[in-house]
Amino acid sequence: MLCLDDFQVLSTPLSQEVLHHLPVPASVNFYVFSHDGLSPIAQDRRGEKGLEALASPVSIEPRLQGNRLIVPLRLPSAEVVAVEISEVDPPLLRRMAPSWLRELQEILLKRFATLRLVYIDPESQMYNRRAATVFLQEAAEGNRGCFYLLQVLFQRRTATATFLKNKEIADLLPALTQGLCFSFGYGVFGVFRREQNREQALKTCHYLQRQLKREGMHKVQIGFSLALLSAAEQEERFDRLWQALAMAEKRGPFGLCDIDSAMIEGCHPFPRVTTDLYRSIRTFSRSRNGFSLAVLLFHHEACEPVFETPWLDAILEGRAGRLGQEGRHLLLHVYGAEEQDVRQTIGAIDKACTQRLGAGVVSIGIASWPFLDCSKRDVVDNCLKALLHGSFLGPGSVVFFDHLSLNVSGDAFFEEGDYRSAIREYRRGLQLRPGDVNLLNSLGVALVECNQERKAAACFREVLTSEPGNSMALTNLGNVLHTLGEKTAALDCYERALRECAETDAGKQELFLSTSKLYTDLGLHDKAASLLERWRAVVGNGRDFRLFRLLGQNCMEIGRAEEAMQACQRALQLFPQDSISLSILGLLYVEHGQGIDVGLSLCRKALELDTLNPDHWLRLSRALLHAGDPAGALSAIRRCLGLRYGHIEGVLQLGRVYQSLGKARRAEKCFRRVLNRNDCTDRQAERARACVAALSTAQAA
């Protein structure tokens, strides 16, 4: 179905289609009608700002506006797009018959809809690779932003399950990103968003990985590029995006790579120095059994000439020797074999530089060899990591590379999505400071990102041994235990973390979601609903469809039907393809008199989106039984139990269906089967006992 995004992604082929139907050469641009006139869908190629004088249309008749022909097109979404045709001889424009213009209007709508199909992936209904190529070739100044290339991997036993999961991801991505989404096939997707800077792009990457991991993804690797170049350079940019994805794959199951950072010198948090400088270091250190290096960072460009001044040589004389310089970094070999001598030397250099240049002008990072498992080549990198550590302390800091520097560098690698390097840094830090809480927590989180949950759990438990109330460790351990299927232990961790977290804690919203979802799984619907209400009261949560989906599910279970329907409707406004909310809403409509036909259609639409979800079949069975179709209900519940044999709610529903069919002995067998289950919740056991009692009463009568 033709939509507004098509005129942004496919502006070039759509413009060519317009030109094909015009009798003369012209310039074509697309605009959208808004409350304050016309707004450009994409940047006008001539650099003009738009048609400020044109107001929203009373009708959609083609018409002349000055020397421009405006052809409005009403899309199936009821939005109106204006095709602007200009740079045509004005007398010729005026001779165009109104009937011909109306015919052109109809032709363009049909041709645009047909042309669009060439650029759409038929399975996911996303834009395909051809559309991405066209879009990137035209993504110049008018479309600046960030393009993400994602690879998602998951484990499914059947081809049908794999197909449905891919379709679910394709439906979910537009809701999560609010951007332009593309499908490349084989679990690779593209997303374009108008990010303003690299920090926003990294936040988007981490958000996408977190959300998709909740949906059962075992790997979510992302390569991205923020700086979209001119049209002539876009083909190269597209190739580099694939290089970024390849680098992200090497960094772990949830690896990230910013190709601009990886390929442009100086973008990394602690960039490597040039090959020539490494060569000089290798020559210097070849025959040495131990040495110390220091990197002096001059914070002002005006200080660069200082490198060659005699007074700097006077400061360094007898204390340190030059090994090279790069930009505002000066690399020194610090004289002295003992740590105390090195510290005294650095103190003297720092004092002299401060007296000469002023406070806060020069920062110093120092590292030595031998050091743990680091090579001689690593020492200069360790100096740069010490400088990164010092950047948190302020200009003019002096930092000797230690466990805190390793924590900082590990965090930097983690933020970049290079989780394997982050694990290496945290483990080195723990060699220097065993039992450090921050390092253990960070190591555990990085291990989780590499799907090493049991090793991560050991880290979090070690933290809790020394700090039983550490909310971060409690939350992380709860997440790991939940992943491992230890739900009761996970819930205990979540509840303890909720008591420890302040209401303003940034991580508390994630904790609300995890805890309320676990309450729901364990049948503690009252607690779940109460917690979800607390979550909804937090500012900024009005656009999380999961909140409203869970709220609808739990309100339905505790008999708050009106609130449940409102919550599901809100979830579907945010994510129209949410099959769970569709299924719940359909059942609510049937059971509470809002329309049996509509309710059943919603239940069936949910199954079209995900036919392998046993809960969808359970809700359809309940709806059919309530609608007076026990045979259909029996067929549906058998499909549910075929997908999950031990589904407790499904067995209860099977008993109710048998009861409605007059098969009391089979019904009782189902109810007693529920009562004999160890994982049966109190609410489920209560309902099963009530059903057994009702059967006994009926038999006695």
Q: What is the pLDDT of residues 575-596, one digit of tens each?
A: 888 999 999 999 999 999 889 9
Does the structure show a pLDDT above 60 at 43? Answer: no
pLDDT score at 310: 74
pLDDT score at 21: 87
User: In angstroms, rounded to a whole number, what is the distance separating the alpha carbons of residues 199 and 555?
Assistant: 38
Mean pLDDT of 396-411: 94
Q: What is the pLDDT of residues 120-137, one digit of tens each?
A: 998 888 999 999 888 887
pLDDT score at 669: 93
Distances 6 to 104, 122, 126, 132, 499 between C-alpha atoms, Å: 19, 16, 11, 12, 49
Does the structure show a pLDDT above 50 at 54? Answer: no
What is the 8-class DSSP label of residue 120? B
Structure tokens, 317: 């004389």
Lowest-pLDDT range of 16-20, 96-100, 512-516: 96-100
Distances 122 to 50, 184, 548, 599 between C-alpha atoms, Å: 35, 12, 30, 28
- If you average pLDDT over each of 307-316, 321-330, 431-440, 682-691, which comes out highest? 431-440
Does the structure show a pLDDT above 80 at 496? Answer: yes
For the chain, the straight-line distance linking the first and the last C-alpha, in angstroms and rounded, comes to 61
Does the structure show a pLDDT above 80 at 531? Answer: yes
Query: Which residues are bridge partners to 188 per DSSP?
Result: 151, 185
Mean pLDDT of 24-47: 62
pLDDT score at 235: 58
Does the structure show a pLDDT above 80 at 53? Answer: no
Mean pLDDT of 443-463: 94
User: In angstroms, rounded to a whole number, what is the distance separating the alpha carbons of residues 185 and 128?
Assistant: 8
Write the secondary structure of 63-116 as one string of H (helix), E (strand) and C (coil).
EEECCEEEEEEECCCCCEEEEEEECCCHHHHHCCCHHHHHHHHHHHHHHHHHHH
DSSP-derived pairing of the beta strands 219-225 and 180-185: unpaired
Q: What is the largest CA-CA distance in the chain?
A: 111
Mean pLDDT of 458-482: 94
What is the 8-class DSSP label of residue 141? G
Does the structure show a pLDDT above 50 at 265? Answer: no
> Is residue 107 within 8 Å of residue 21, measured between CB atoms?
yes
Torsion over CA: 297, 302, 306, 311 (sign) = negative
Q: How many residues does the chain have?
A: 701
Q: What is the pLDDT of residues 161-205, one digit of tens each?
A: 777 788 888 888 988 888 899 999 888 999 998 887 888 888 899
Structure tokens, 208: 């996408």
Average pLDDT, the chain: 85
Structure tokens, 616: 């969808």
At position 234, the amino acid (one-letter code) is Q
Q: What is the pLDDT of residues 406-440, one digit of tens each?
A: 999 999 999 888 899 999 999 999 999 999 999 99
DSSP-derived pairing of the beta strands 146-153 and 180-185: unpaired
pLDDT score at 309: 66
Q: What is the pLDDT of residues 597-608, one digit of tens each?
A: 999 999 999 999
Is the model more confident about 157 or about 475? 475
> Which pLDDT band holds residue 234 (cuts at 50, 70, 90)?
low
pLDDT score at 303: 54
Rounded percentage of the chain residues whose pLDDT exceeds 90: 41
> Collapsing DSSP states into helix, strand and coil, what is residue 364?
strand
Distances 211 to 62, 172, 407, 409, 487 between C-alpha atoms, Å: 46, 10, 26, 26, 20
Number of H helices, E strands in the chain: 30, 15
Mean pLDDT of 42-59: 41
Write the secondary structure of 309-344 as one string of H (helix), E (strand) and C (coil).
CHHHHHHHCCCEEEEEEECCEEEEEECCCCHHHHHH
What are the CB-based long-range contacts (under 8 Å, 24+) for 346-351?
346/294, 346/398, 346/400, 347/398, 348/319, 349/294, 349/296, 349/315, 349/316, 349/319, 349/320, 350/398
Does the structure show a pLDDT above 60 at 233? Answer: no
pLDDT score at 42: 47
Lowest-pLDDT range of 216-230, 343-357, 637-651: 216-230
């491992």: which residue's tokens? 484
DSSP-derived pairing of the beta strands 362-369 and 398-400: parallel
pLDDT score at 541: 63
């003019």: which residue's tokens? 396
Does the structure show a pLDDT above 80 at 277? Answer: no
> Which pLDDT band holds residue 44 (cuts at 50, 70, 90)?
very low
pLDDT score at 63: 82
Q: b or e along 249-270 (b: 16 or more beta carbons within 10 Å of the residue's beta carbon)?
A: eebbbbbbbbbbbbeeeeebbb
Does the structure show a pLDDT above 80 at 34? Answer: no
Query: Which residues are bridge partners to 325 per DSSP?
Result: 330
Is the model more confident about 476 or about 305? 476
Q: Which run of H or of E encompasses 219?
A: strand 219-225
Does the structure show a pLDDT above 90 at 638? Answer: yes
Which residues, including other chains, have CB under 8 Å from residue 150's CB and lie 6 or more apart? Answer: 188, 189, 190, 191, 208, 220, 221, 222
Mean pLDDT of 509-527: 90
For residue 320, give the nearest of 312, 308, 328 by alpha carbon.
Answer: 312
Lowest-pLDDT range of 98-102, 620-624, 654-658: 98-102
Does the structure show a pLDDT above 50 at 530? Answer: yes
Mean pLDDT of 546-552: 92
Lowest-pLDDT range of 144-158, 459-473, 611-625, 675-689: 144-158
> Collapsing DSSP states into helix, strand and coil, what is residue 499?
helix
